[in-house]
Amino acid sequence: PHETIRVGLEERAYDILIGANLLERAGEEIAARMPGARAAIVTDENVAAIHLKALEAGLAKAGIQSTAVVVPAGEQSKSFSVLQTVVDAILAARLERRDVVIALGGGVVGDLSGFAAGIIRRGMDFVQVPTSLLAQVDSSVGGKTGINTAHGKNLVGVFHQPKLVLADTSVLDTLPEREFRAGYAETVKYGLIDRPDFFEWLEANWREVFAGGPARARAIAVACQSKAEVVARDERETGDRALLNLGHTFGHALEATTGYDSARLVHGEGVAIGMALAHRFSARLNLASPDDAVRVEAHLTQVGLPTKLSDIPGELPDAEQLLAYITQDKKVSRGALTFILTRGIGQSFIAKDVPSSEVLTFLRDSL
């Protein structure tokens, strides 16, 4: 029993399957869509140790031969040197264009191996088997792939849509609790953008989502659907994709000013604080009721996510440093700031021309 969502446009449309124990079925699902393909599985050390055997067995059951390429775990693997290792290993296995690269891992493995698949032989078939909640609700949908450079994160990459996404909800049982919560923040985001009933559903069902089972699959399915819809709307050039940045302007500033130190803050935690700040800031600008900000904060706190700047351990950046980072951020146009603000839960919108002086006083009062 799994849910299937079909996303993407016409010939490039693909299925996202969401449910328990999908690794076992990976072979038959891939063989049905890519008959005769051989496979290279790209994964990281952590995930390989726990889930690689099950995927290999699932592929072998359908007669699919596979080679595994294991990279170190962590953001540092989104680099030119690791990309080269992956590309070389796939070519050494003599895989051809119609063979398939399978990403088994979190967003790091997905971004890295999707990029490798996108450039080898000008584009090999690609399947995502996301194993972190963040990857299942966010990075495996939308087709963005890439690596980091000394000049910044995600600056080199290609759009390369997968042929299939298998979101196995049971593999999340082995994800460290903190990583699960970080992915949960991105899940809540979709409710706060434009699905107030999803937010309400999460308030009532989050314990079941954390525990696993059908509620978890439901939450992931709604999140994937939401992301796919926003991405599809953006392909028609309305600029709506920016809504996915809810909580991210503040979040990125916090990640940067705390030195990307995961001991202090991981991305999803920055987004949780950022979403709480975006709601409080919207209330302060009299755009939304303060009750909504309180409600958002209460839910994030309830699941164990941070919501305040003071929730970050260690010495905090000051308001000026945060603003300096935000104004260097690409979301600045003509001296005014663009923020994702809200008129209430599930009513986010893109606000252009937010005065930086307002942001500065708000940040000062929040510290």
- Active-site positions? 122, 144, 186, 227, 237, 241, 245, 248, 252, 267
Tell which one of 33, 61, 144, 233 touches ligand NAD (CB under 6 A): 144
- φ/ψ of 128, rounded to 5, equals -100, 130
| Shortest spacing between CB 322 and ligand NAD, in angstroms | 21
Q: Which stretch binds ligand NAD (CB under 6 A): 71-79, 202-210, 327-335, 337-345?
A: 71-79
Tell which one of 175, 242, 243, 288 touches ligand NAD (CB under 6 A): 175
Tell which one of 19, 58, 105, 251 touches ligand NAD (CB under 6 A): 105
Q: Which DSSP string do the residues of 14-46 spell out, in sequence order?
A: EEEEEETT-GGGHHHHHHHHSTT--EEEEEEHH
**81 vs 357, beta carbon nearer ligand NAD:** 81
Q: Which stretch binds ligand NAD (CB under 6 A): 132-140, 196-204, 208-216, 337-345?
A: 132-140
Task: Select the residue whose beta carbon is closest to ligand NAD and give its number.
Answer: 107
- φ/ψ of 55, rounded to 5, equals -70, -45
Q: Report the first-to-last Cα separation within the chain, whole angstroms.
A: 48
Helices 45-61 and 26-33 cross at an angle (nearest 10°) of 60
Q: Which stretch binds ligand NAD (CB under 6 A): 29-37, 106-114, 197-205, 311-319?
A: 106-114
> Hey, how many other C-beta atoms are within 10 angstroms of the C-beta on 352?
11
**147 residue type, one letter:** I
Binders of ligand NAD in range 228-267 (CB under 6 A)? none
- φ/ψ of 98, rounded to 5, equals -85, 0
d(CA 37, CA 270): 40
Contact code string over 24-53 relative to ligand NAD, x by CB under 6 A: --------------------x-xx--x---
| Shortest spacing between CB 266 and ligand NAD, in angstroms | 7
Where does residue 287 rank: exposed (0-12), middle (13-18), buried (19+ CB within 10 A)?
middle
| Shortest spacing between CB 25 and ligand NAD, in angstroms | 17
Tell which one of 55, 59, 68, 73 touches ligand NAD (CB under 6 A): 73
Q: Which residue has the tokens 């260690």?
A: 314
Q: Which stretch binds ligand NAD (CB under 6 A): 83-91, 130-138, 311-319, 357-365?
A: 130-138
| Shortest spacing between CB 276 and ligand NAD, in angstroms | 20
d(CA 86, CA 41): 10
Chain mean position to CA 151:
21
Decide if residue 316 touches ligand NAD (CB under 6 A): no
Q: Which stretch binds ligand NAD (CB under 6 A): 16-24, 136-144, 291-299, 338-346?
A: 136-144
d(CA 30, CA 35): 8
**72 vs 290, beta carbon nearer ligand NAD:** 72
Helices (H), the chain: 26-33, 45-61, 80-92, 107-119, 133-134, 177-194, 196-211, 214-235, 248-257, 267-284, 290-302, 319-328, 356-366
Decide if residue 269 touches ligand NAD (CB under 6 A): no
Applying CB under 6 A, the residues found at the interface with ligand NAD are 44, 46-47, 50, 73-75, 78, 105-109, 111, 131-132, 134-135, 138-139, 142, 144, 154, 171-172, 174-175, 179
